[in-house]
């Protein structure tokens, strides 16, 4: 295979076993909108100092024009990207040659909770579904593909975070 995950990770694995604190990574993002008086649009930038600024907007279900991805779309995109990369990397480690891969994520929310209309309706997504459309080289045993699915799901950071959310702290700086 062209790009070997094993080769890319072998030195890192040894390093992290010897010095575990080196394995702690902090991902980050920040908003960097131009007009704070616009209630419906802004920009978010990941990888402080190096990432592209992505426009985002507000979904029409809560009164926005929905003319740019909303935060829920970005959450779905993060999960799709994480599942996709996990599948690709695990397939590479298992020696499975992928010929096609598409991950589709859908999340459903009842916005009455977010809008404070119904107190019994939770704020947040009530369901998330991930559909993986995958093709492997002819002759790949189906049990290997199931092992791939299970292993990739197990190491998908975004997916596992959604399954067992960490504590979250919000601080307002004025």
In-domain check, residue 99: yes
In-domain check, residue 172: no
Where in the sequence is the domain holding 26, given as residue range(s)?
A: 5-163
In-domain check, residue 23: yes
Pick from 89, 105, 87, 103: nearest CA to 145: 87
Asked if the model's pLDDT at residue 1 lies above 60, the reply is no
The CATH number given to whatever domain includes residue 58 is 3.30.300.20
The tens digit of pLDDT for each residue in 24-50 reads 999 999 998 889 999 999 999 988 677
In-domain check, residue 104: yes
In-domain check, residue 78: yes
Angle, CA 169 vertex, CA 72 and CA 65 arms, to 5°: 25
Beta-strand runs (E) in 8-124? 29-31, 41-46, 53-57, 98-109
Pick from 12, 156, 159: nearest CA to 90: 156
The tens digit of pLDDT for each residue in 121-141 reads 999 999 999 999 999 999 999
- Alpha-carbon distance of 87 to 125, in angstroms, equals 24
| Structural domain total, the chain | 1
In-domain check, residue 70: yes
In-domain check, residue 174: no
The Cα-based distances of 2 to 59, 95, 98, 100 in angstroms read: 41, 11, 12, 16
pLDDT category at 2 given cuts 50, 70, 90 is: low
pTM for the structure as a whole:
0.93
């Amino acid at each position: 295979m062209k790009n070997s995950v094993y080769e890319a990770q072998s030195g890192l694995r040894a390093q992290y076993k010897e010095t575990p604190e080196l394995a702690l990574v902090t991902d980050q993002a920040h908003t960097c909108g131009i007009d704070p008086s616009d209630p419906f649009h802004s920009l978010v930038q990941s990888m402080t100092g190096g990432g592209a600024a992505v426009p985002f907007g507000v979904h029409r279900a809560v009164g926005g024009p929905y003319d740019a991805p909303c935060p829920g779309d970005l959450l779905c995109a993060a999960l799709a990207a994480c599942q996709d990369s996990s599948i690709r990397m695990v397939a590479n480690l298992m020696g499975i040659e992928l010929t096609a891969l598409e991950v589709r994520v859908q999340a459903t929310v009842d916005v009455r909770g977010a809008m404070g209309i119904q107190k019994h309706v939770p704020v947040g997504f009530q369901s998330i579904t991930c559909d993986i459309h995958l093709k492997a080289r002819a002759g790949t045993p189906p049990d290997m593909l199931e092992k791939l699915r299970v292993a990739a799901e197990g190491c998908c950071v975004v997916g596992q975070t959604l399954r067992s959310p960490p504590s979250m702290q919000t601080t307002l700086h004025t």
